[in-house]
């Protein structure tokens, strides 16, 4: 009979005495305890050994416990010093006794507390008296500590618990496995067993030499404990962004790209946002201290300025407020990706566009907001627009219903809203699956003529900006967006959450 080397070693060692623990077998064979355990279980599965398990409690001295085995427990040393100073007759000044005991630092408090608890004497108004009958030399805690240090078994649970609570001893629970030969095992050994070299890997050399026929392969133990490995994975937000892109591409949209830091012209002026609009002050935007943009089409700048000043159409009316080209050319981090929509609609990115057209982006935007469970300073917007003849609000609503249904969200609500650049405008709301609250998930509308005319667009354009993080909250029930991204994110949550398909 041939068995793997480790199994043969364990069999032989186990035959030496009646019962052997994994540790004693490991000592005897020179194998690692894990290897012995595995071999023992394999032998058990073949019926050659029996493995019994017992839960054992072990007590080990802590460093402090070991120190006291050497030096004596502080209260015992205090008692000795007290006896020496004659405190069994008359009370002695506490300072004198402590000085004589050689105790210092935190030991003094430990000594005094336990001295009192054990009834070794009394301490009253700075005077210490010792009880002549106290048997400090046979202090039960000292006795147990010394026994443990010597490796002797201790049965006094009460004292052990006390030592654990004093942090002089640590309690460990352990499963001790013992291995005994079965009759089949004894017979096997008598008949003789040979150790086969075990290999855990098949090599090309073994195949060509034919050696593979003679070796024993280690068995796979698919139930063995293995360390948890947390590999890298795509962030849930990125996974969702990718899925949003797939959905929009599936709906016939093309992707827009463009700068995160852009001219106010594209971020605001093209959108008919008056230059004195509150959102354009330094409070709300992240202005960048860099040279202004150079590359803006002059004729477009002129038409946008004219729309701001005089409005568009026959009965149009502008803001008649100040408009400065320098202001428009200044650079800031974009507060929305509608800057990209302006770049594309104007023909600046991919040339003049003929209807119908559909474009989107899923990109980062930056706002000087206050952080809270639903606001971040950087977040992702799902921007999009459709250019076509004769669009209506029903097209807009239908598009959202189709889009959100792909993510299992079927109860979108619309609320009339105001944007300087769209008319009509709607905010979108969805219900949070955990809290039941309505949360804002987007903003949308039909671009006004004041926006479209300077851009040179002659048909309707419906457009929106949706918050990717809010979509995530509705999909997964997250209630604090800060758990999901940013410096405070919850790593466990991110590890556990799988993107819903």
Instruction: For residue 411, count other CB atoms closer than 10 A to its CB.
Output: 11
Stretch that binds ligand PHE, among 135-143, 194-202, 262-270, 461-469 (CB under 6 A): 461-469
| Burial (CB count within 10 angstroms: exposed 0-12, middle 13-18, buried 19+), residue 33 | middle
Q: How far is the CB of 341 from ligand PHE (least distance, A)?
A: 6
* Residues in 195-254 at the binding interface with ligand PHE, rule: CB under 6 A: none
User: Please, what's the largest Cα pairwise distance for the chain?
Assistant: 116
Among residues 487, 473, 382, which one has the least CA distance to residue 434?
Answer: 473
Q: How far is the CB of 427 from ligand PHE (least distance, A)?
A: 9
Q: Please calculate the CA angle 196-52-27 and round it to the nearest 5 degrees.
A: 55
Distance between CA atoms of residues 198 and 320, nearest Å: 90
Among residues 98, 157, 163, 108, which one has the least CA distance to residue 128?
Answer: 98
Q: Please calculate the CA angle 393-399-402 and round it to the nearest 5 degrees.
A: 140
- Give the single-character DSSP code of 354: P
Judged by CB under 6 A, the residue of 387, 445, 454, 472 near ligand PHE is: 445
Query: Which of 129/338 has CB closer to ligand PHE?
Result: 338
Query: Which of 163/452 has CB closer to ligand PHE?
Result: 452
Query: Which of 68/464 has CB closer to ligand PHE?
Result: 464
Q: How far is the CB of 200 from ligand PHE (least distance, A)?
A: 59
Q: How far is the CB of 303 from ligand PHE (least distance, A)?
A: 20
Q: How far is the CB of 258 from ligand PHE (least distance, A)?
A: 14
- Whether 346 and 270 have beta carbons less than 8 Å apart is answered as yes
Q: How far is the CB of 423 from ligand PHE (least distance, A)?
A: 10
Judged by CB under 6 A, the residue of 29, 142, 443, 497 near ligand PHE is: 443
Contact between 336 and ligand PHE per CB under 6 A? yes
Q: How far is the CB of 363 from ligand PHE (least distance, A)?
A: 12
Contact between 74 and ligand PHE per CB under 6 A? no
Distance between CA atoms of residues 382 and 366, nearest Å: 14
Query: Which of 77/343 has CB closer to ligand PHE?
Result: 343
Q: Does 157 appear as a known binding residue?
A: no
- Whether 341 and 359 have beta carbons less than 8 Å apart is answered as yes
Distance between CA atoms of residues 135 and 140, nearest Å: 9
Contact between 121 and ligand PHE per CB under 6 A? no
Judged by CB under 6 A, the residue of 444, 450, 476, 481 near ligand PHE is: 444
Distance between CA atoms of residues 14 and 51, nearest Å: 11
Stretch that binds ligand PHE, among 187-195, 286-294, 321-329, 437-445 (CB under 6 A): 437-445
Q: Which residue has the closest beta carbon to ligand PHE?
A: 465
393's tokens: 């609000």
Q: How far is the CB of 417 from ligand PHE (least distance, A)?
A: 8
- Computed over its alpha carbons, how large is the radius of gyration of the chain? 40
Judged by CB under 6 A, the residue of 40, 134, 452, 463 near ligand PHE is: 463
Contact residues for 276 (Cβ-Cβ < 8 A; gap 6+): 321, 322
* Residues in 465-484 at the binding interface with ligand PHE, rule: CB under 6 A: 465
Applying CB under 6 A, the site for ligand PHE has a residue count of 10
Distance between CA atoms of residues 350 and 344, nearest Å: 7
Contact between 338 and ligand PHE per CB under 6 A? yes
Q: How far is the CB of 378 from ligand PHE (least distance, A)?
A: 14
Contact between 272 and ligand PHE per CB under 6 A? no
Query: Which of 97/463 has CB closer to ligand PHE?
Result: 463
Paired sense of beta strands 261-263 and 331-333, if any:
antiparallel
Distance between CA atoms of residues 298 and 276, nearest Å: 22
Q: Which residues pair with 465 in a beta bridge?
A: 383, 443
Contact between 419 and ligand PHE per CB under 6 A? yes
> What SS3 class is residue 500?
coil
Q: Does 381 appear as a known binding residue?
A: yes
Q: Which residues pair with 57 in a beta bridge?
A: 173
| Burial (CB count within 10 angstroms: exposed 0-12, middle 13-18, buried 19+), residue 281 | exposed
Q: Does 191 appear as a known binding residue?
A: no
List of residues contacting ligand PHE (CB under 6 A)? 336, 338, 419, 422, 443-445, 463-465
Could you list the residues known to form a binding site, using ranges.
Answer: 338, 381-383, 421, 423, 447
Could you list the residues known to form a binding site for L-phenylalanine, using ranges.
Answer: 338, 381-383, 421, 447
């Amino acid at each position: 009979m041939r068995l793997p080397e480790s199994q043969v070693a364990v069999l032989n060692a186990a035959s030496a005495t009646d019962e052997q623990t994994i540790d004693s077998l490991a000592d005897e064979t020179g194998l690692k305890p894990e290897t012995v355990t595995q071999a023992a279980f394999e032998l058990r599965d073949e019926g050659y050994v029996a493995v019994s398990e017992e839960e054992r409690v072990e007590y080990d001295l802590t460093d402090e416990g070991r120190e006291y085995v050497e030096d004596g427990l502080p209260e015992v040393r205090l008692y000795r010093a007290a006896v020496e100073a004659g405190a069994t007759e008359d009370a002695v000044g506490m300072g004198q006794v402590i000085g004589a005991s050689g105790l210092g630092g935190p030991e003094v408090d430990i000594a005094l507390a336990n001295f009192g608890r054990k009834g070794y004497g009394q301490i009253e108004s700075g005077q210490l008296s010792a009880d002549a009958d106290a048997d400090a030399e046979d202090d039960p805690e000292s006795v147990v500590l010394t026994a443990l240090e010597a490796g002797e078994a201790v049965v006094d649970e009460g004292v052990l618990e006390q030592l654990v609570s004093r942090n002089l001893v640590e309690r460990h629970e352990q499963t001790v496995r013992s291995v005994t030969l079965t009759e089949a095992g004894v017979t096997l050994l008598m008949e003789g067993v040979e150790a086969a070299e075990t290999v855990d890997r098949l090599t090309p050399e073994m195949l060509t030499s034919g050696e593979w026929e003679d070796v024993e392969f280690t068995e796979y133990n698919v139930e063995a404990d293995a360390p948890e490995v947390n590999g890298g994975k795509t962030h849930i937000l990125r996974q969702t962004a990718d899925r949003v892109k797939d959905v929009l591409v599936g709906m016939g949209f093309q992707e827009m790209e463009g700068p995160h830091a852009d001219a106010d012209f594209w971020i605001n002026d093209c959108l008919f946002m008056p230059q004195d609009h509150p959102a354009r002050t330094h409070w709300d935007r992240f202005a960048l201290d860099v040279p202004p943009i150079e590359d803006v089409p002059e004729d477009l700048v002129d038409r946008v300025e004219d729309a701001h000043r005089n409005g568009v159409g026959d009965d149009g009316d502008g803001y008649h407020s100040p408009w400065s080209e320098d202001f428009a050319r200044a650079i800031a981090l974009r507060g929305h990706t509608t800057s990209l929509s302006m770049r594309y609609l104007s023909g600046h990115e991919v040339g003049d566009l003929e209807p119908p057209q559909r474009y989107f982006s899923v990109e980062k935007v930056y706002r000087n907001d206050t952080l809270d469970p639903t606001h971040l300073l950087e977040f992702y917007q799902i921007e999009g627009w459709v250019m076509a003849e004769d669009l209506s609000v029903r097209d807009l609503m239908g598009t959202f219903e189709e889009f959100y249904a792909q993510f299992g969200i079927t109860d979108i609500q619309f609320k009339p809203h105001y944007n300087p650049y769209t008319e009509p405008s709607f905010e979108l709301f969805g219900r949070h699956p955990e809290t039941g609250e309505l949360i804002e998930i987007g903003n949308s509308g039909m671009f006004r003529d004041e926006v479209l005319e300077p851009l040179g667009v002659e048909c309707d354009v419906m457009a929106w900006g949706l918050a990717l993080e809010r979509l995530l909250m509705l999909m997964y029930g997250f209630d604090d967006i800060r758990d999901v991204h940013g410096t405070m994110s919850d790593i466990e949550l991110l590890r556990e959450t799988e993107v819903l398909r």
